[in-house]
Amino acid sequence: MVEASPLILIIEDEPQIRRFLQAALTGAGYRPIEAETGKMGLAQAATQPPDAIILDLGLPDMDGLEVARQIRAWSSVPIIVLSARGQEKDKVAALDLGADDYLTKPFGVGELLARIRVALRHAARTEGEDGQAVMVVGDLKVDLAARRVFRADTEVHLTPMEYRLLTTLVKHAGKVLTHAFLLKEVWGPANARETHYLRVFMANLRHKLEADASRPRYLLTEQGVGYRLADE
C-alpha cells in the first residue's frame, strides 16, 4: 500500500542544502527522509523504499555515481542527481547509468518541484501499462503497433531513422536522454560518438512535429547533455 504523499529520499552531505530541500519538499506535500552519506543513503533506500531519490554527486564517503549504480542494481526508482557547476562529466555519466534527471546548483524551488513531479508521473506511468500500443504526449500520438505517427490528428510520415529516434524519446518521455544513449539505441553502439547525426535528425523531427521548429515545445535540447521529450 502506498501512502498518500510520496516518500522522497535526500542523499546530501551539506546541511544547508539538506535543510533547504527538506523545507521545500515538506511545503509541497512530500515526505522527505534524509541521509548524510552514500552508505546511509543506500541503507535507507533498501529499508524504506522511496518514491524518488535526490542524489548529490559530491558526497564525502563514496562516489555519487557508485550510489546510483548500486541503487539501479535492484530498483528503478526515479533518481534526480544534483551536480555542482563544472561537473558535466559526472552528470552525464549518472544519466547514462539510468538517472532520470539532473539539477545544477544553485537551483530554485520551482525547478526542483517541477522535476520531481515529472519523475513521479513518469514512474507511475511505466509501472502501470507498459506494453502500450499507442503512446500520447500532448498532441503527439505514436501508434507503435501500426507504426504510425500523428500530430494534432493528422498523420506525419517519418523515415525509419526518424521513427526510431522518436520512439526512443517517447518511451522515456520526460526523462533526459544523453547523446550516447540515443545514438546507441538508434544507430547502434558503433556510432555512439556521432552526435552530428542527432543534430540533423532532431532538426528534421522538429520540422515535422513541432508547430514552430525554432521554438520547440516537445523536442527539447539539454545543452551539453542530450535531449528530452517534454511530458506535457
Partner DNA sequence: GCGGATCTTGATGGTTTCTTGATGCAAACA
Partner DNA sequence: TGTTTGCATCAAGAAACCATCAAGATCCGC
In the complex with DNA, the residue whose CB is nearer, 80 or 177, is 177
In the complex with DNA, the residue whose CB is nearer, 16 or 214, is 214
For residue 142, what is the enclosing H or E element? Answer: strand 140-143
- Beta strands of 5-85 (E only): which ranges? 7-11, 31-35, 52-56, 79-83
- Does 203 help bind DNA (rule: CB under 7 A)? yes
Closest CA relative to residue 169, chosen from 116, 119, 231, 121: 231
Going from the C-alpha of 97 to that of each of 38, 84, 171, 213, the distances in angstroms are 16, 18, 17, 30
Among a copy of itself, DNA, none, partner that 154 touches (CB below 5 to 8 angstroms by kind): none
- Does 221 help bind DNA (rule: CB under 7 A)? yes
Amino acid, res. 115: R
Residue pair 166/135 in contact by the 8 Å Cβ criterion: no
Among DNA, a copy of itself, none, partner that 175 touches (CB below 5 to 8 angstroms by kind): a copy of itself
Residue from 161, 180, 192, 230 touching DNA (CB under 7 A): that is 161
Query: Cell 549518472 appears where?
Result: 94
Q: Taking CB under 7 A as the rule, which mask of x and - marks residues 14-53 in contact with DNA? A: ------------x----x-x--------------------
| Shortest CB 198 distance to DNA, Å | 7
Pairing of strands 79-83, 101-104: parallel
Which residues contact DNA by CB under 7 A? 1-2, 26, 31, 33, 85-86, 157, 159-162, 179, 187, 194-197, 199-203, 206-207, 213-214, 221-226
